[in-house]
Amino acid sequence: MMASLYWVLGALAFLTGALARESTWGGLYPRESGSREVKSLDGFWNFRLAPLHDPLQGFREEWFSKPLCKTGSVITMAVPSSYNDITQDKALRDHVGWAWYDRTFYVPVRWQADKQRVVLRLGSAHYNSVIYINGVAVTSHEGGHLPIMAEMSSSLRFGKENLITVAINNTLTPSTIPQGNIVYRNDTTKYPPGYFEQQTDFDFFNYAGLHRPVYLYTTPQTYVDDILINTDIDGSAGIINYKIFAATSGIGPQTEDNVGCSVKLLDNEGDHITSAMGCIGTIKISNASLWWPYLMHSNPGYMYTLMVAVSDASGVLDLYPQKVGIRTLGWNSTTLTINNRPLYLRGCGRHEDSDIRGKGVDYPLIVKDFSLLKWLGANSFRTSHYPYAEEIMDMADQEGIMIVDESPAVDLKGFGKELMERHIAVMQELVRRDKNRPSVIMWSVGNEPRSNEPAAKDYFSNVVNATKAIDATRPVTCALSYPKNEEHAGSSLDVILVNRYFSWYSDTGHLELIYNQTVNEFTEWHLLHNKPVMISEYGAGTIAGFHMDPAFTWTEEYQAELMVENFKAFDTLRSKGFFTGEMIWNFADFATAMGFTRVAGNKKGIFTRNRQPKMSAHVLRSRYLSLAETSKKDVKSSLCFERYKP
C-alpha cells in the first residue's frame, strides 16, 4: 500500500531533522566584491524522479551518498528551470512527489588557504527541499519561492571533486503555502491501486524544480551578514539610514565592540560621493538623485551603491556592494505617494511563466518582459502569486517599475494557528529578502483568501501586524475577492486590493454592466474601510487570432471592449479621489493545470505566452501612455500624508 503523501512530507522532518539545520534566511544576494568570489553551479545537472508509488526510495537507498548515476538511470536537467516541460515525458510533466538532482563541482584550494567561508545559495526550490554536500545533509527548506542558504566550508573537499545533491518535493497539502490536497481514488473499478491526484484551488501550473540560480560564494570568516536601508527626503536632500549586521562564522552576530563598519557612497557611475563610519548611521546628500518610477521622471530607477565594509584592527575584512534608491512612501485614507507625489499604479498581474523553462529564471525573457512593460507605459506589477526571482526584482529596481510584492499565500483557507505561523515565517523571509528594494512599494500577504471564514479576521490581523512589525515603511495589502460585507480581511489592510471580473465570471457577455457595477462596488469598498482602493485583477479569456464583431467571449474584440468599459469606470473612480490603481489580469497567457475552463492555459494575457501583443495590448498601451502624461501634470505636493519617520 502506497504511503500517504502527507506522511511522506512529515517524514521530511524525521529524515533531515537530525542532519540539517533548516534554512530560514537566504542571505544577501551573492555579489562579487574585493573580498568575495561567486561561482555559479548553473548548467546541466543529473536528474531522476522518485517512483510515484515508492516516494521514499531515494532516502531509504541513500541516493545522496553517491552520484545519482550510480544508483539508477538519470536524465540531463537544466538548472535553472522547472523540470516539467523539458522533455516529452508526461510522467515528468505531471509528477507529484520527490525529484532528485545532482552534479559535481570543484572548489579551489586557495579558498581553504585563505580561510574563506563558503556558502551555498539556491534562489529557490519548489516546494520542500533537502540539500546534501558529499552525502551529508547541510540544510533543508520549506517553501518554493524564497532563497535557501547553507554555510558549508566544513563539508567541502578543497581542490577535489565535490557532489551536491538536492531532493525536492512539490506536494502541496493543507499546511503548505500555497495549499493543496492529495485526493485518493479508491474505487478499484475505475482507478488502479494507489491512484491519487494533486488538487489545488489556484489555476497556474504547479511547476517544480530548481527554478533559480545556484551559487557558491565566499566571504571572510567575519562578514557582512545583513544590511538594512531606509531612505527619506528633506527638500532636495536625500537621507540614507543604514544599519550593518556583522557576524563571524561559528560565533554568530558581532557587535561594534569587536567589529567596525564603514560605508562609501558611490553614484550610479561608480564615482565616490561621501563616506561614513559606524555600523549604524545616516548619510545626507544635498541635491540627491531620487528613485522615481518609470515615466514619472526623466531619469527613473536611479540607484546609488553603498559599499559596505566590516573591519577589525587588522583592516578591512569584508566588502558588500548594496544598491540604494532614495525615495519615500506615504499613504493615508485615500492616497499613496512617492516622494510626496500622488501615485496611480498602471500595471498588471503576472506569472513567472514561459514555454519549456516553466518558472525557471531566463535572462532573455526578463529583459523582454521589462521591455514590454515599458512599451506598455506600465509603472508597476504585482508579483502574483508568489515572490519572484531576485533577478526580476533587480530589473524592477533599475527600471523604475514599482512592485506589489506578494507572498505565495494564494487561495488560503482554514485559518489555523499552524498555517498562520508558517504564513508569518514566509512574510519574514520575504521582507528580509526584499526590504532594501526601492521598487517594492507594498507587501501583499496573499491573493483571494477565503476571507468569508470568520477566523480570517484574527488571522489576517496577526499576519499583517507581524509584517508591519518587521517593516513599517510600506503599506500592507492582500488581493481580496469575497463580497465586501461577507469578508473579514479588509479591515486589517492599509490599501484595499480587489479582483473583479464583471462581464466575465459574472454577467458573462454583458459588457454594458461593467461601468455601474465597478463604480458602485469600488466606491462602497472605500466607504466601508476608508482606505485607498485599487483593482488588482480584471480581464477576459482571449484566444489570439479569434475575432468577432459584435464582440463575443474569447475574441480579441471582447477583451478590448471589456477593458474600455472598465477604463470608463476607473476614470470615474479616479475623479472621486480614492482610487489608486488598475492592474489587468494578465500580462501574458500562462500555463495552468488541464481542465475544461482553461484553453491550453489561462488566456487572459494581453500578450500571448511567447510575448506577442493581442489587440488588447495596443489598447492598454494607449491608455497607460496617456495616463502617464496626465500624472506628470498632476503634482499635488500640498497634501498631508502619514509618512514613515525613521
Using CB under 6 A as the criterion, which residues of the chain lie in contact with ligand GCB when the complex forms? 202-203, 385, 447-448, 481, 499, 537, 585, 602, 604
Pairing status of strand 237-248 against strand 280-285: antiparallel
DSSP state of 302: -
CA distance 349 to 567: 17
CA distance 323 to 222: 21
What is the Cα Rg of the chain in Å? Answer: 25
Nearer to ligand GCB, 311 or 553 (CB): 553
Q: Give residue 401's region: left, alpha or beta (phi > 0; psi -120 to 50).
A: beta
CA distance 61 to 395: 43
The least CB distance from residue 606 to ligand GCB, in Å, is: 13
Query: Taking Cα atoms as reference points, which of 266, 284, 246 lies closest to residue 324?
Result: 266
Nearer to ligand GCB, 101 or 585 (CB): 585
Catalytic residue among 142, 352, 448, 556: 448
Nearer to ligand GCB, 82 or 155 (CB): 82
β-strand partners of 238: 233, 285
CB 381, CB 606: distance < 8 Å: no
556 assigned to active site: no
The least CB distance from residue 129 to ligand GCB, in Å, is: 25
CB 285, CB 272: distance < 8 Å: no
Nearer to ligand GCB, 118 or 540 (CB): 540
CA distance 195 to 612: 40
617: which 3 cell numbers?
A: 495590448
The least CB distance from residue 585 to ligand GCB, in Å, is: 6
The least CB distance from residue 349 to ligand GCB, in Å, is: 7
Alpha-carbon separation of residue 137 from 13, 116, 166 (angstroms)? 12, 21, 9
Spatial strand order in the sheet of 304-312? 272-277, 260-266, 304-312, 315-324
- 550 upstream amide cis, omega within 30 of 0: yes
Q: Is 259 helix (H, G, I), strand (E, B) or coil?
A: coil
484: which 3 cell numbers?
A: 465586501
Nearer to ligand GCB, 118 or 588 (CB): 588
The least CB distance from residue 203 to ligand GCB, in Å, is: 5
CB 153, CB 248: distance < 8 Å: no
Nearer to ligand GCB, 270 or 595 (CB): 595
Nearer to ligand GCB, 353 or 537 (CB): 537
Residues classed as catalytic: 448
